[in-house]
Structure 1
Amino acid sequence: MGGAALLVEVADTDAALVLRAHLAPLVEQAAGVWAAVDHLVVGARTVLVVVRDPGLRSDVGRACLDEAAGLAATPTVPGEDVVEIPVRYDGPDLEEVARLTGLSRDAVVRAHTGTTWRVGFGGFAPGFAYLVDGDPRLRVPRRDEPRTRVPAGSVALAGDFSGVYPQDSPGGWQLVGTTDAALWDVDRDPPALLVPGRSVRFVEVDATSPPSSSGPVAPRTTRVTGAGATAGPPEGQDRAAGRGLEVLATGPLTLVEDLGRPGFADVGVGRSGAADPTAYLLGLRLVGHADAGEATPASLEVTLGGLSVRARGDLLVALTGAPCPADVDGRPVPHAAPVALADGQVLTLGVPTVGLRTWLAVRGGVVVAPVLGSRSTDTLARLGPPVPSVGDVLPVGPAPASFPVVEVAPQPSFPTGEVVLDLVPGSRADWCDLSGLDDVRWTISSRSNRVGIRLEGKQIHRQGAYADRELPSEGMITGAVQVPPGGEPVVFLTDHPVTGGYPVVAVLTPPAVALAAQLRPGQQVRLRWSRGG
């Protein structure tokens, strides 16, 4: 799965859960070869193993096979700890599910409520879970045409799975009902209601009224009836005193980002973080965070310029990434070099001459309140600090003990014409016809964002043996090149979903990922197999 990940394929979901449960303690202990593993993502029939050191990928792969060889996948027996989810069976696809299964409407409801489901693995959004072990009569295909918006709380079926949409999002599952259960709440521990291995029962309630919060609760059962608490404003957002950046203009999009939040893949939360980590880390180095380690300070990620900020207190900042004209109170300032801001001075960024995203690093970092251990805003998961707006004062933390030792730094060039992205084969390269891939030119779509860039142009076709096959959901990584049914590839960036159901035919190299994050809509791009792949 690219140069820094492996996909371990097993027989079924039970085998994947058993393997993941066996490997997780080894990764946590970080002894021997397992110290090279960053994280695991369980899928329907796979376990994704992401490594920190690509040079140890083969050693990690052999260790995974050794551990898997001695495991016996036995179905998990539902325990006493059961989550009950009240459902109004009023979904728009209920009659279609009845037709597809040959059951009556009432029989569909009885089949859905008459089984104790089990959480298999996390999905595309925080709190979304793929539920397994349901009544086999409820196996139905996804809709031919996915909906552009599925309301939060929709209860759905697809394939062997059931699930509940925790937030409004596109989706192609068959909708059979709705619930008011709070699937995701960052103030709850754990934030996801449905975690892998937990048992779930759906309970029918009157379709004409919302579920009631009254009534007895069965022993060792969690009955969910409300929408849950809403997190308050981040600590420090309202501070007027001390050092900070007062936002005067944001441009098209300005986000607070660090290196992301690892460790939440099981509940549908990806790492996120700075779209171009190379530019982000260079900015920190320029302002004196030379050895930040894992606790990297947050910076501002600015898309297509337009940011204007006033210094509250004396600050040291640096601009990296896409080079843009910038000035302090009308005086031009350099790119990729430390810039001193005196109290009250205004820094203004123009539109980059090339590239898409510029980073504003500040000595001490932006210290808005973290969410799940990170100050990154994940645009797909809708998780993290609020998007800065005009009038906000973003607090700046204390300066580190180390001093800046770099006065100016070289930066990679950003091509204005055709861009070449290097890649290596992906886990499902054999699913598609990739002949002549190096010669194809695509155009970056205007629908591209931090989740991924869409390539418009020639379609990539499935091989005959895989033409009508559905791929069970499996773990995804940044840089994965996925081919949906339409045939136009999608390159995943930092806010990509945790799992996906389309074949990954290739994966960008790390330098190519950073370059892809800087591509503008309308640019021409070509994919090239890496010589080292």
Structure 2
Amino acid sequence: MVILPFGERAVLVEVADLREVLSLHRRLESSRPEGVLDLVPAARTVLVRVDPAVLSLSAARSWIEGEDAAPLSPSGDRSRTVEIPIVYDGADLDAAASALGMSVTALVERHAQANWTVAFTGFAPGFGYLVSEEWPYDVPRLESPRTRVPAGAVGLAGEFTGAYPRETPGGWQLIGSTTAVLFDPAASRPALLQPGDRVRFAPARPSASGTAATGAAENPAPPKQEPAARPERPAAEIVEPGPLTTVQDQGRPGHLAAGIAISGAADRGALRTANRLVGNDEGAAGLEITLGGLRLTARRDLWVAVTGAWGPLSVDGRAVPGRSAVRVPAGAEFAVSAFTAGVRGYLAIRGGIDAPALLGSAATDVLSGLGPARLLAGDVVRIGDRVAGPVPPEDLHPWTAPADVIEVPVAPGPRADWFTEHARAVLFDAVWTVSSDADRVGIRLDGPELARRVGGEVPSEAMLPGALQVPPLGRPVVLGPDGPVTGGYPVIGVVADVGRDLLAQARPGTRIRMRHARPHPR
């Protein structure tokens, strides 16, 4: 076992193979101490993400090292068994059987009789990678991936089988279909399959639609918790949303193992400040406005504040200050013009935005589609009850535009040793430029090529916002709040929390210097 650094708040535990991953993950899960936010298994690793205010990384390392040799007690195995109905009617069933040198009947029997285990999740929320000791085959992926794989399709790839929770592109060989609800964002347990779950495929009759007609979980998920009815309190109507305006808060940590990204505001500090300016709880939801251009009409008297990116603000055409609480009377129009500096502005309304929550967060995840839809003209924004105190009598100073060159602190990444010594020096010596390929999923940087000393891809492993992935072309990509939960490119470093907020305001063309992050005080 090797424990590798993964920024300020996580470590990556590497073991020999997937069997050891499953064993280590079960042991860690059974003795999980307070302060561990996520345990994310992957092909050869387990990511351990902590809250350093509760559990230091050094304490987490000691716990991991102790559990590496500890046997798993019978009471420590919390796995459950899920039965998934399947109709073996996939478009690639014949081709997969031929590639394995067996008949279709033999493939179906081996697949249905095998006892499967969810090794890890990724690719999409609720997509489980299933393995079995009774399935010793390596199935090649399609040479040309499909642009559309329907929800419920069951496929094979490498040593894995899995079912697609929603329609998505994919390169797995499709052997069947299921009607099982694999991911339901409204359920108390959104992902049907969690790492460590046991899975059995139960052949079923085709329904009228051609998919499996029956099947159930042996230990079903808890029933949905219907939220109590709350009175609607319309705050404003969107007149013009600008290029992209979404509801964001501080995100939904703690669900990476189910394939659910942390998401939340790209510049979390700016949203917290906006909430403080109007007397809200810092965790209240606000609007993330990309590049400006938002106009709304107040439905009631409002207190609002805008932080983050710079740009003119007005109430019925009258200029008002940014980073300060502003009164907007009922019927008045509040406008956020195009930003002159920075990328994302944060609009807080006293009371917070009232939007449907998933796993305790109203954040919009643009990659997975979770959370409220992007705002459109005519949408009504509702006010919540997240008031924490009075509107402060003074605004917060200073407020300055981003510098011409942003300095971004970077902590060690788990795969830094995959790069040459020169490349590791260049990461901090070069001036990088934000490319035009930049959004909430990730920011591609232009600059010198970072040469590798170890070739190939990393077996799929967990990712976090701020990870500096380096694809084959050698230019780093900084993962954003909606970035993928797993990935196969090596991570040379991890942007520290304060640096992530700075990068949220970096426009294409912005120059960036990396600097070594100071060790966390704990």
What is the TM-score normalised by the length of structure 2?
0.86
Amino acid in structure 1 at the alignment position of 2:61: G
Structure 1 counterpart of 2:3: none
Structure 1 partner of 2:152: 153
Out of 6, 15, 18, the position equivalent to 1:13 is 18
Instruction: Specify the code of the residue in structure 1 equivalent to 2:160.
Output: F
C-alpha offsets along residues 356-392 of structure 1, whole Å, 9 cap, x if unaligned?
1000011110112212221111112211123222222
Separation in structure 2 between the aligned mates of residue 212 and residue 149 of structure 1, nearest angstrom:
17
Partner of 1:307: 294
Instruction: Say whether the 8 Å CA contact 2:205–2:213 is kept in structure 1.
Output: no
Aligned to 2:236: 245
Work out the CA distance in 1 between the residues paired with 2:100 and 2:376. Answer: 50
**Equivalence for 2:69:** 69
- Structure 2 match to 1:516: 503
Amino acid at match of 1:446: S
Write the distance in 2 (CA, Å) between the matches of 1:192 and 1:80: 13
- The letter of the residue matching 1:59 is A
Q: 1:387 aligns with which of 356, 364, 374?
A: 374
* Conserved? CA contact 1:283–1:336, under 8 Å: yes
Give deviations 1:263-306, integer Å, cap 9, x for gaps: 322221122111111101111111113xx37xx21101111111
Amino acid at match of 1:437: L
Cα distance, 1:341–1:20 mapped onto 2, change above 3 Å: same
1:449-494 Cα deviation digits (max 9, x unpaired):
211112345443432xx324x4232221110111234433221111
What residue number does 1:85 align with? 85
Deviates more, 1:390-399 or 1:277-286: 390-399
Any idea what the Cα deviations from partners look like across 1:145-181, whole Å, max 9, x if unmatched? 6555544333232332221221233444444444443
Find the partner of 1:467 among 455, 461, 480: 455
Distance 1:9 1:220 in 2: 32
When residues 157 and 288 of structure 1 are mapped into structure 2, their CA distance, relative to the original with a 3 A threshold, is: same
Residue in 2 that maps onto 1:452: 442
Amino acid paired to 2:26? A
1: distance between equivalents of 2:142 and 2:77? 31
Is the Cα–Cα contact under 8 Å of residues 286 and 406 in structure 1 kept in the other structure? no
Q: Is 1:425 equivalent to 2:415 in the alignment?
A: no
Q: Which residue number in structure 2 is paired with residue 505 of structure 1?
A: 492
**In structure 2, do the counterparts of structure 1 residues 176 and 498 end up closer, same or farther at CA, with 3 Å as the change threshold?**
same
Deviation of 1:343 after TM superposition, in Å, equals: 1.3
CA contact (8 A) 1:78 1:199 kept: no
Conserved? CA contact 1:444–1:456, under 8 Å: yes
Hey, what does 1:191 align to over in structure 2? Answer: 190
Q: Distance in 2 between matches of 1:357 and 1:485?
A: 30
1:358 aligned residue (312, 328, 345): 345
CA distance in 1: counterparts of 2:187 and 2:257, whole angstroms:
16
Matched residue type, 1:323: W
User: 2:217 and 2:266 mapped to 1: Cα distance?
Assistant: 46
The question of 1:263 aligning with 2:254 is answered yes
Partners of 1:319 and 1:72 in 2: CA distance: 52
Deviation at 1:526, TM superposition (A): 4.4
- Report 1:7-156 matches (<5 A): 7-24=12-29, 26-27=31-32, 34-53=33-52, 56-71=56-71, 81-92=81-92, 95=95, 97-98=96-97, 100-104=99-103, 106-133=105-132, 135-142=134-141, 149-156=148-155
Which of 245, 252, 255 pairs up with 1:254?
245
Tell me how far apart the structure 2 counterparts of residues 213 and 150 of structure 1 sit (CA, whole Å): 17
Task: Decide whether the 8 Å contact of 2:438 with 2:444 is kept in 1.
Answer: yes
Q: Secondary structure at the match of 1:48?
A: strand
Counterpart of 1:312, as a letter, is R
1:276 aligns with 2:267: yes
Measured in 1, the distance between the counterparts of 2:92 and 2:433 equals 37
Q: Assess, with a 3 A threshold, how the Cα gap between structure 1 residues 219 and 150 changes in structure 2: closer, same or farther.
A: closer
Instruction: Establish whether residue 488 from structure 1 lines up as the match of residue 475 from structure 2.
Output: yes
Once the 2 structures are TM-superposed, how far is the Cα of residue 108 of structure 1 from its aligned partner? 4.0
| Alpha-carbon offset, residue 212 of structure 1 | 5.8
**Partner SS for 2:48:** strand
Is 2:85–2:216's contact at 8 Å kept on the other side of the alignment? Answer: no
Give the secondary structure class of the aligned counterpart of 2:507: coil
The residue identity in structure 2 corresponding to 1:405 is: P
CA contact (8 A) 1:19 1:71 kept: no
> How high is the TM-score relative to the length of structure 1?
0.84
Amino acid at match of 1:7: L
Distance in 2 (alpha carbons) for counterparts of 1:362 and 1:155:
45
Number of equivalenced pairs: 509
Q: Give the distance between the partners of 1:431 and 1:178, measured in 2 at CA.
A: 40
Deviates more, 1:159-168 or 1:196-205: 196-205
The answer as to whether partners of 1:112 and 1:134 remain within 8 angstroms in 2 is no
- Paired residue type of 1:9: E
1:3 maps to 2:8? yes
What's the C-alpha RMSD, in Å, of the aligned pairs? 3.5
C-alpha distance 136-461 of structure 1, shift in aligned 2 (>3 A): farther
C-alpha distance in structure 1 between counterparts of 2:113 and 2:288, whole Å: 49
> Runs of 5+ in structure 1 lacking a partner?
28-33, 224-228
Could you tell me which amino acid in structure 1 is paired with residue 63 of structure 2? A
Distance change (3 Å), C-alpha of 1:250 and 1:404: same
Partner of 2:360: 373
**In structure 2, do the counterparts of structure 1 residues 188 and 397 end up closer, same or farther at CA, with 3 Å as the change threshold?**
closer
- Counterpart-to-counterpart distance in 2, 1:49 and 1:264: 12
CA, structure 1 residues 88+114, in 2 after alignment: closer, same or farther (shift >3 Å)?
same
- Structure 2: 5+ residue stretches without partners: 1-5
